Copies of this chain bind each other. A is one copy, B any other.
Amino acid sequence: MPTDTAIPAPARLLKITEVATEVGLTARSIRYYEEIGLLNPAARSEGAYRLYDADDVARLRFIRGLRDDAGFSLAEIGRLLEDEEARTRNRDRFQSTSDPDERRGIVTDALARIDGQVEILRAKEARLRAMIEEAESRRHHLEQHLADLDAGREPGHAPPGASST
């Protein structure tokens, strides 16, 4: 009979280059993000190796998305993400308590933060969409001008945006 059937499976911890390749960042960047307070690894090995859990990996993925896809600076990302101190505290608090009320509070807070993040991302999306629509309006304008030329007509003005792209 195995001695450890009751342990919930500690869910493998990754070393820094392992996470780096998995999320598409360099080890240097990840250490830098730690330096500026964007995330602390879940644990350190006996010999001080950084060890990351699945939650850390998700956070790093999110950071990368905010940087590459949303175009935020690391300073903005720091503001957007929860303060890392609080995250570490909450992780510990959540694990160490089984009081439902306390857990409820932690989860409720996390919900509020996500809502704020989604709102900011939506605003960004709206601005991007506005740019796209403007570009398409320029496109239609040019199409119109082309139709004029094809019809042999000659409007007296140069096409706005004809050379501004």
Which A residues contact B (CB, under 8 angstroms)? 8, 54-56, 58-59, 62, 65-66, 69-72, 81-82, 87, 90-91, 94-95, 98, 100, 103-104, 106-108, 110-111, 113-115, 117-118, 121-122, 124-125, 127-132, 134-136, 138-139, 142-143, 145-146, 149-150, 152, 154, 156-165
Chain B residue at minimal CB-CB distance from A121: B132
Interface of A is mostly: helix
Residues of B within 8 A of A135 (CB): 62, 114, 117-118, 121
Shortest distance from the beta carbon of A13 to any chain B beta carbon, whole Å: 15
Q: Is the CB of A162 within 8 A of B69?
A: no
Contact for A104 among B81, B117, B149, CB less than 8 A:
B149
| Closest 7 pairs between A and B when the two form their complex, measured CB to CB | A71-B71, A69-B127, A91-B163, A59-B164, A55-B164, A114-B139, A65-B131
Shortest distance from the beta carbon of A75 to any chain B beta carbon, whole Å: 14
Q: How many copies does the complex hold?
A: 2
| CA gap between A125 and B54 in the complex, in Å | 27
Residues of B within 8 A of A113 (CB): 165
Q: Is the CB of B104 within 8 A of A150?
A: yes
Q: Is the CB of B90 within 8 A of A146?
A: no
Residues of B within 8 A of A125 (CB): 125, 128-129, 132
Contact for A162 among B56, B106, B129, B150, CB less than 8 A:
B106
Q: A70-B71, A100-B152, A128-B70 are in contact. Are A110 and B56 (CB under 8 A)?
A: no
Chain B residue at minimal CB-CB distance from A106: B162
